[in-house]
Amino acid sequence: MFHNVVYCGLISHSILDDQVVEGKHKPIVSKALFLKVHGIQEAKNHKSKHNKANENLPLKVFTTCAACESPLTYLAKKKNIYYYKCKTVGCSCNKNANDLHGKFTDILNLHQIDEKLIAPLKTQLKYTF
Ligand SMILES: [Zn+2]
């Protein structure tokens, strides 16, 4: 209910370019209550988004298990070290996040472009795309 501004006497619609304007209808809840509850929900939403994108685990779901090819999620950190974990039941693939990040960085380093080739590459990309 508190996601829709109509309940506090306002209107928002794509016809109005999604601007929020005063409606002519009687509000069910006050704007103050709407904003108060909406603020609480925004805080909860922000918290859950933060949990989904843990900055200590940038390869979560991006990397897959070598044994069963299931996306790696994470295991609660132990002794201040994060671990990636295969979510397949019975597959005991756990990877130390620091080790995996190091290996990933090594792979990225293989794809560095020589400084003198950057300008011609940019020119070619401009022609291609
Ligand atoms: Zn696995």
- Residue 66, in any domain of the structure: no
Which tokens belong to 75? 């295991």
User: Are 77 and 120 in a shared domain?
Assistant: yes
Determine the distance separating the centroid of ligand 1 and the alpha carbon of 48, expressed in angstroms: 26
What's the whole-number mean pLDDT along residues 106-122? 92
Determine the distance separating the centroid of ligand 1 and the alpha carbon of 107, expressed in angstroms: 21
- Residue 59, in any domain of the structure: no
Listed residue (9, 35, 4, 31) closest to 22, CA to CA: 9
Per-chain residues with Cβ under 5 A from ion ligand 1:
65, 67-68, 70, 86, 88, 91, 93
Greatest mean pLDDT among 7-21, 28-42, 65-79, 86-100 lies in 86-100
Into how many domains does the chain fold? 2
- Residue 97, in any domain of the structure: yes
- Residue 89, in any domain of the structure: yes
User: Are 47 and 10 in a shared domain?
Assistant: yes
Determine the distance separating the centroid of ligand 1 and the alpha carbon of 89, expressed in angstroms: 8
Contacts of range 104-110, beta carbons closer than 8 Å, 24 or more positions apart: 104/59, 104/63
Residue 29: φ, ψ to 5°: -125, 155
User: Are 124 and 81 in a shared domain?
Assistant: yes
- Residue 63, in any domain of the structure: no
User: Are 77 and 117 in a shared domain?
Assistant: yes
77/12 Cα distance (integer angstroms): 44
Which residue range forms the structural domain that includes residue 14? 5-52
pLDDT at position 129 is 93
- For 5-59, how does the pLDDT look when each residue is reduced to its tens digit (9 = 90+)? 788 888 877 777 677 788 888 888 888 887 777 776 555 655 554 456 678 888 9
Mean pLDDT of the chain: 83
